Amino acid sequence: DAGVTQSPTHLIKTRGQQVTLRCSPKSGHDTVSWYQQALGQGPQFIFQYYEEEERQRGNFPDRFSGHQFPNYSSELNVNALLLGDSALYLCASSFRGEEKLFFGSGTQLSVL
C-alpha cells in the first residue's frame, strides 16, 4: 500500500520563476492538503482540496494555487517566486476530510 508520494524531492528555482509540485495521496484517500514548512518552523496550512475543489485556504497570497485531478492527485503551483518561498512543501492526504492525516516526505524548494 503506497503512502503519500511527492515529486520532485528537491527543486532549485530563481526569483520570479514559476514552480509546480505534485502529490499522489495514499490509496483510498480523496482529500489532499498542502503545508509550507520554513526552516525551524512548524508547517503552515496552505489549502485543502476535495472533489476537485479548493475547500479551505490558509493565509497565503494568490500566487499560491492548486488543482486536484479526478484520480485525487494534486498539484501546487507558485508563481512569481520570492526568496521567502524557500521551504519544505508537504502534502497530506485523508479520507473525506477525516482529521488523521498522512504526510508525504515533502519537496524542498530553494529560491535563489
List residues near other proteins by CB under 8 A.
33, 35, 40-45, 48, 55-56, 58, 88, 90, 92, 97, 99-106, 108
Cβ closest to other proteins, residue 34 vs residue 81:
34
Strands 107-111 and 10-13, by their bridges, are parallel
Edge-first strand order for the sheet with 64-68 is: 5-7, 19-24, 74-78, 64-68
Shortest CB 83 distance to other proteins, Å: 20
Calpha distance 81→111 (Å, rounded): 7
Beta-carbon count within 10 A of 10 CB = 9
Shortest CB 98 distance to other proteins, Å: 10
In this structure, the dihedral spanned by the alpha carbons of residues 83, 85, 86 and 90, taken in order and rounded to 10 degrees, is: 180
Cβ closest to other proteins, residue 60 vs residue 75:
60
Cβ closest to other proteins, residue 84 vs residue 96:
96
Shortest CB 24 distance to other proteins, Å: 15
